[in-house]
Amino acid sequence: MSYSLALGPFHPAWRGPQRFILRIDGERIADLEYRDGYNERGCAERLPRLDLPQALFLVSRICGTCSVAHTLAFCQAIESLCGIGVGERAVLLRTAAAELERVASHLAAAATVLETIGLDTQAAVLRNLREATQRVMLRVSGARMAPDFCIPGGVKRAVSVKDREESLLTLPKLTRSVFRTIETMIDDRALLARTVEVGGLPRAAAEQYGVRGPMARASGIVRDVRADSSYAGYTLLPFRLVTQEGGDLYARLLVLVLEAYEALKLADLALQDLSAGDWQGEYPTALNPGSAAAAVEAPRGMVRYTIESDGTQLTKVRIDTPRQLDRLLARTLLAGALLDNTVPIIASCDTCTACAEQ
């Protein structure tokens, strides 16, 4: 029996709008059409028309779940254009905020995958850990999500002694809880049965499609901006790269939770090492003419900002963001898959249309 099934554009298992039109033959997907473009706001074109404070605010709202990564890349590009230095305290605070954001993003993605395969109890554990992470984020950056935090030359807000102490008490507990959850996931047979060799993306295909971030690292691609061209505080902290060889749903899930675990440790270390010193930044009074670029590892892979200036204002901004699914990649991942596995496979890509389409 053959029929068509449309999923989306609005669906509880994905955050940004995207549509899948599946042609089902028996129990498997025979073919599919992927539609995107629901989230094109034209932010990059809008940025040069704004003054710097407004531009930075818009950058922080291009993606709410990778907001620190976007503002960090934008600020680093401005700093490189204008030759602005950043104090060590600010560098470590930025790193802590960026890693906490990664934890929140990854744990939510992993929880969504677990929910789609019916493992609601484990998903709830991860969701609660994510919520606790957001409360630490509030202490460190002043907001649960999309904080007004990075500014050229530093950060907008110094963490208070009390907030730092509370965060340093909470983070080790969170780290241990995430570790215990990973331990239960590794040999959970119900989880293995639903995820191993499901939705496989071989390494060669991942390379060809230019997949980035955790999705690429789950297919064995050893690539991470934090390791490859170290920025912010990653030279000061012991950073460990997470990769898996499997390329399947299980590998993607493991990369998400293991990276969340590593990110919690990094945020903890960054806050421990916090030196006294300069943290304040301010908007430069004038921009140097020329162009500059900066890349950071956002929760879903490299985000690069290339900016051009005529000496008074920004004239051009190019934002290069990761894209987890496109028409052909969606077909590679889903064609031939069992209908039951469709939503878990899509959830495991952790698509962020807000980043991809800006």
Interface residues toward other proteins, by CB under 8 A: 9-10, 12, 15-17, 19, 37-41, 43, 46, 54, 57-58, 61-65, 67, 104, 108, 124, 127-128, 131, 134, 144-146, 352, 354
Closest CA to 102 of 153, 48, 163, 178: 178
Burial of 294 (0-12, 13-18, 19+ CB in 10 A): buried
In angstroms, the CA 252 to CA 73 distance is: 25
CB of 65: closest distance to other proteins in angstroms? 5
In angstroms, the CA 94 to CA 296 distance is: 12
Nearer to other proteins, 54 or 229 (CB): 54
Tell me, what amino acid is at 224? D
Nearer to other proteins, 146 or 337 (CB): 146
CB of 121: closest distance to other proteins in angstroms? 14
| Structure tokens, 141 | 């950056």
Nearer to other proteins, 90 or 303 (CB): 303
Region for residue 245 given its phi and psi (left: phi exceeds 0; alpha: psi -120 to 50; beta: otherwise): alpha
Nearer to other proteins, 64 or 284 (CB): 64
CB of 66: closest distance to other proteins in angstroms? 8
Could you tell me which residues come within 8 angstroms of residue 153 by beta carbon, excluding any fewer than 6 positions away?
Answer: 75, 79, 84, 85, 86, 90, 280, 281, 282, 284
Nearer to other proteins, 27 or 131 (CB): 131
CB of 235: closest distance to other proteins in angstroms? 30
CB of 308: closest distance to other proteins in angstroms? 21
